[in-house]
Every structure is written in C-alpha cells, then in structure tokens.
Amino acid sequence: MRICLFPGTFDPVTLGHVDIIQRALPLFDKIVVGIGVNASKNPMFSPEQRMEWFKEIFKEEEKVESVVYDGLTVNFCREISARFILRGIRFVSDFEYEKTIADANRTLDRNIETIFLTGEPKYTSVASTIVRDILKYGGDASPFLPEAVIKSIHK
C-alpha cells in the first residue's frame, strides 16, 4: 500500500493545500495529512480545528485522513507506515528550503522518499502567513480559503 504523509502546520488550511492533495490522490492509496505541532510557532487555530477542516473538506474521499502529530516527521512516517512525504512547491525558494529538509529526512531514513508537487499558478500567492495577516486585520481572506474554513471562521 502506498501511504503518503502530507505534513504541515496548515494554519489555516488554504485552497493551495487542497489543490496539492487533490492532485496527489491518483498517486497514492492513502494520504495522511499530518498537522505538525511546532513549539516554535504560535498558531492562530488549534491543531484540532485544522484537523476538523480537513475532515470536512475531504469527507467524501476515503483515501484522505487527518491527524495531529508531534516530533520528527520521519518518525511519524514510520509510525503510520508511510514511505512517501508530499510537499507543495510554489516558488524556487520553496524548493531550496524543501530540498534541504528532504535531504535531512533521507539521511535519517533512506526508505522514505519526498515527492514535490508544484502548486497551480492561481494558488502561488496563497500562503497561510498572508491569510493569517488578512484575518488578523479584519480583511476578507475568503478568496484563499476552502468553504469549510470560511464557514467556521465566520461563526
């Protein structure tokens, strides 16, 4: 079984994240969206909220599940028997950063391969950091967000 981990903070989940998952679906038997708990980041939304968004967005897709995890990504891959890590790339600078992480992960576990998918051009400007700033200052971030996220933010 080809199990893939799509790790990230997803704070919040954006249309870019959803796009990467949808385009990766034909490549894997199962995609586990791993919401990483990062002590150095101060998230706007709880890990449980982010996990619920993915559950709602992909409720019709049995190949996608979302979980919260802590610690090294390669250790979590071993825990869930994932042989692949999925990462989205928007810009060349993303690739340089992601390749460094992929190289470190490969050094830690040669059986886990990182797969890069480039984002659709219409989503390249969508970054969670920008979306958080828009939300923080009362702007309308809906052009960047899935419907499930928009609904829960407006509650």
Calculate helix-pair angle for 47-57, 147-154, nearest 10 degrees: 130
Spell out the residues 6+ positions from residue 114 whose beta carbon is closer than 8 angstroms to its own. 84, 85, 86, 87, 98, 101, 102, 105, 106
Q: Which residues are 6's β-sheet partners?
A: 33
- Give the Cα separation of 21 and 93 in Å (integer): 21
**Catalytic one among 50, 66, 87, 128?**
128
2 classed as catalytic: no
**Catalytic one among 23, 30, 90, 99?**
90
**Catalytic one among 2, 41, 59, 122?**
41
**Catalytic one among 17, 50, 66, 87?**
17
* Of 119, 121, 145, residue with least CA distance to 134: 145
- Cβ distance 28 to 70 under 8 Å? no
17 classed as catalytic: yes
For residue 21, give both structure tokens. 């998952």
Where in the sequence numbering do the catalytic residues fall? 17, 41, 90, 128
